[in-house]
Amino acid sequence: MDEFEQNAADPYDFHLPENEDSPSQYNDGDGIEVSVVFTPLPPQPKKGEKRCKNAKTLPINLVIHFNENDTLATLLDSAIDSVEQTDNLCYAIGNRTGRLSPENFSIKYTVPRSAYKDVDIKSLEDFNTLITQACKMKNPLFKLFITQTEHNDDVVDEDEDESAPARKVPKVNPTEMKINDYITELSCCYTCEDRSCKFPICWPAPPNAKHVHLTPLHLRTWAAAINATENDPNTTVDLKNPPNTKLFNSSCEIHNIGDTALLARRRDAATVNNTSPSVVVNNDFKELANVLLADNRNIRQPPAQVPAPPPATVVSPQAALIPKITLQTFCDRFKLSISILTKLNAMKITGPHCLRFVTDGQLVEKGQLDIGELADVRDAQEHWMQGVEN
């Protein structure tokens, strides 16, 4: 199989070898216009100085031309060479997968006036999409963003190495190390395999092998006793024999000290099985009442107060009714005009005693009284009610 057939069989090869040397159809044969935007890493700080966490560098902007028939590797090499980073930026492209694996930079593209903005180039398929979308434009062009990143081997935690103060590593006492070793041995030796037992670490106390739960307090006490008496031939404290204290006495409840799980279970059981009698309140206060009544008899009672009679109701005499007079007499007495007399007569008003049942609106609407006439009528009515003759 020749070179052409090998590349044609590759599904990720977008450009065939026979077209690689063909001139570009755009920009008088120069190729697609590519705006390269390269953002380098901030410069390394000098010795004794610290780099700002949000330090940013100015990007480098260049314009190159790329033949649409060339490959992704050609595009990357041209862009990297244009910013003079050939020795600093490294990448690899998979032969079978077509995956792009940049080691210390990221690469994105943007096709103007399209939906393809800040798209990562991760494979040959992404590169093919880029060329296809760029060639659809009247004047093909696109932007290529290359951002330098830290290499995995060069990444250092500046906060931990420079900013943060060195942590003090606590020094372990040799005696504590021995005690911890004994605790580990005791935990392994007395791991409880009895499925009916609720505790993970138990010591079978003689003579009936009753399980004594080995809490952290038990283990530390036992380990400290072994360490303290390991050079004493008169003591018998070892991995098989605990110290002779109440803590390891199976007949004493003190061996459960420090067992928070056991205490929690007992508290829950006491709450569920609480059968204490309820408090009965005796409400018989007969004897207490007799005592209080006897004491009250000896106390001099104040004289009973006679309630004051209620005040006499003052009844105001009813005002005498004003005698009725005719409408003609009313108008003559208070000098009302003939026009007023005619209008009131048309409303069937027989005298001033009828005016208090007629509203001003009715006099104006029905009787056609003017404002001045209405005022004269009400003024004469008020004088008549007060008993004024004129």
- Mean pLDDT across the stretch 257-281? 64
Which of 48-57, 194-203, 207-216, 291-300 is the least confident region? 291-300
Q: How far apart are CA 149 and CA 331, in angstroms?
A: 114
pLDDT per residue over 93-136, tens digit each? Answer: 888 888 888 888 889 999 998 888 988 988 899 899 988 988 88
Predicted local confidence at residue 110, as pLDDT: 92
What percent of the chain has a predicted confidence (pLDDT) above 90? Answer: 5
Q: At residue 234, does pLDDT exceed 50?
A: yes
- Looking at residue 282, what is its pLDDT? 60
Q: What is the pLDDT of residue 298?
A: 58
Angle of helix 72-82 relative to helix 124-135, nearest 10 degrees, comes to 80
Upstream peptide bond of 207 is cis (omega within 30 degrees of 0): yes
Is residue 68 very low, low, confident or very high in pLDDT (cuts 50, 70, 90)?
A: confident
pLDDT digits (tens, 9 = 90+) for 6-44: 444 444 444 444 455 678 888 888 888 999 999 888 877
pLDDT score recorded for residue 285: 63
CA–CA separation, 37 vs 35, rounded Å?
6
At 139 the pLDDT is 85
Q: Please tell me the least confidently modeled range out of 2-16, 17-31, 214-228, 268-282.
A: 2-16
Tell me: pLDDT of 198 over 70.
Answer: yes
Please state which CATH number belongs to domain 3-44+55-148.
3.10.20.90
> Exposure of 54 by Cβ count < 10 A (0-12 exposed, 13-18 middle, 19+ buried)?
exposed
Rounded CA separation 226/238 (Å):
6
Rounded to the nearest integer, the mean pLDDT of the chain is 78
DSSP string, 14-46: -S-GGGTTSPPSSTTTT-EEEEEEEEPPPPPPP
DSSP 109-170: EE-TTSS--SEE--BHHHHHHHHHHHHTSSS-EEEEEEEE---TTT---HIIIIISPPPPPP
Dihedral (Cα; 212, 213, 216, 221), 10-degree rounding: 0
Alpha-carbon gap, residue 363 to 371, rounded angstroms: 10
pLDDT at 303: 59
Per-residue pLDDT reduced to its tens digit, 151-191:
755 544 444 455 556 667 677 788 888 899 999 999 998 99
Q: How far is CA 29 from CA 24, 66, 122, in A?
A: 5, 10, 28
Are 173 and 181 a contacting pair, CB within 8 Å? no
DSSP assignment letter at 245: S
- Which stretch, 18-22, 53-57, 290-294, has highest mean pLDDT? 53-57
Position 237 scores a pLDDT of 87
Percent composition of the chain: helix, strand, coil (DSSP 3-state, to 5): 35, 15, 50
* Confidence band for 88, pLDDT divided at 50, 70 and 90: confident
Domain boundaries, the chain: 3-44+55-148, 176-265, 327-385
Highest mean pLDDT among 49-53, 54-58, 234-238: 234-238
pLDDT of residue 8: 41
pLDDT digits (tens, 9 = 90+) for 355-378: 888 898 888 888 888 898 888 988
Residue 210 has pLDDT above 60, yes or no: yes
Give the residue-averaged pLDDT of 305-330: 65
Q: Looking at residue 184, what is its pLDDT?
A: 92
Between residues 45 and 346, the one the model is more confident about: 346
Decide: 116 and 110 in contact? Cβ < 8 Å: yes
Mean pLDDT of 262-291: 65
Structure tokens at 106: 């990221």
